[in-house]
Amino acid sequence: MIDTEKIRVGTIWLDGCSGCHMSFLDMDEKIIELAEYMDVVYSPYVDAKEVPENIDLFIVEGAISTDHDLKIINTIRKNSKKILALGDCAITGNVSTLKNLAGTDAALEKGYFDLADLNKGKYPDKIVPKLLEKVIPLNEAVDVDYFVPGCPTPANAIYEVLKGLINGIEVDVSKYTRFGI
């Protein structure tokens, strides 16, 4: 995978809990080892406002549930050589797809009308992106190159996959991953 001295990496979470990003941080001192081979150029961990071009690997956590998610995943696909779907939400939609059972109108009714303290009865469209009719996993919107399951994905699985990508070898993460909480 390496075609430069350091791999340019981006990370993001879309509609998810950020648990996979917490697992990323749970790699502890292994992050320092990976930093020798990777530059994180876009992430909640860094202060980048726009998705840069020429990213070697973009790690995406979470499902796609809003027009903003759809726009950003398309920008990520355009600007990235490879995309890694991290965690069950990115791969299957997982918990986020529960909204699909009730539908967008019911979700809006409950979340913004019944339970809201502010803007009661009015969708706050100036701050909240438009919900899609259906929550979808990443591969239903863009081509995905790698899938690493888990809820959340264990730190060891993330480390082994990244180390494998750095070394150009495929890694079987089945011994590291778990499904569901």
Q: Three-state SS for 84?
A: strand
pLDDT for 117 equals: 67
Q: Identify the pLDDT of residue 112.
A: 72
Gap between the Cα atoms of 52 and 75, Å rounded: 9
pLDDT of residue 5: 80
What's the burial of 49, exposed, middle or buried (CB within 10 Å: 0-12/13-18/19+)? exposed
DSSP-derived secondary structure letter, 153: P
Instruction: Please state whether the predicted TM-score (pTM) of the whole model is above 0.85.
Output: yes
What pLDDT score was predicted for residue 166? 93
Q: Is 73 left (phi over 0), alpha (psi -120 to 50) or beta?
A: alpha
Separation CA 62–CA 77 (nearest Å):
15
Domains and CATH numbers, the chain: 7-97+133-167 (3.40.50.700)
Q: Given CA atoms 67, 53, 96, 142 in this order, what sign does their dihedral have?
A: positive
At 179 the pLDDT is 60
Q: Give pLDDT < 70 ranges for the chain.
A: 1-4, 116-122, 177-181
* Residues in the chain, total: 181
Residue 2, pLDDT score:
43
Report residue 43 as tokens. 């992430």
Listed in sequence order, the DSSP H helices in 49-154 are: 67-79, 88-92, 98-102, 104-108
| Cβ proximity of 7 and 1 under 8 Å | yes
pLDDT value, residue 116: 67
Q: What is the pLDDT of residues 82-92, one digit of tens each?
A: 999 999 999 99
Q: Left, alpha or beta for 18 (phi > 0: left; psi -120 to 50: alpha)?
A: left
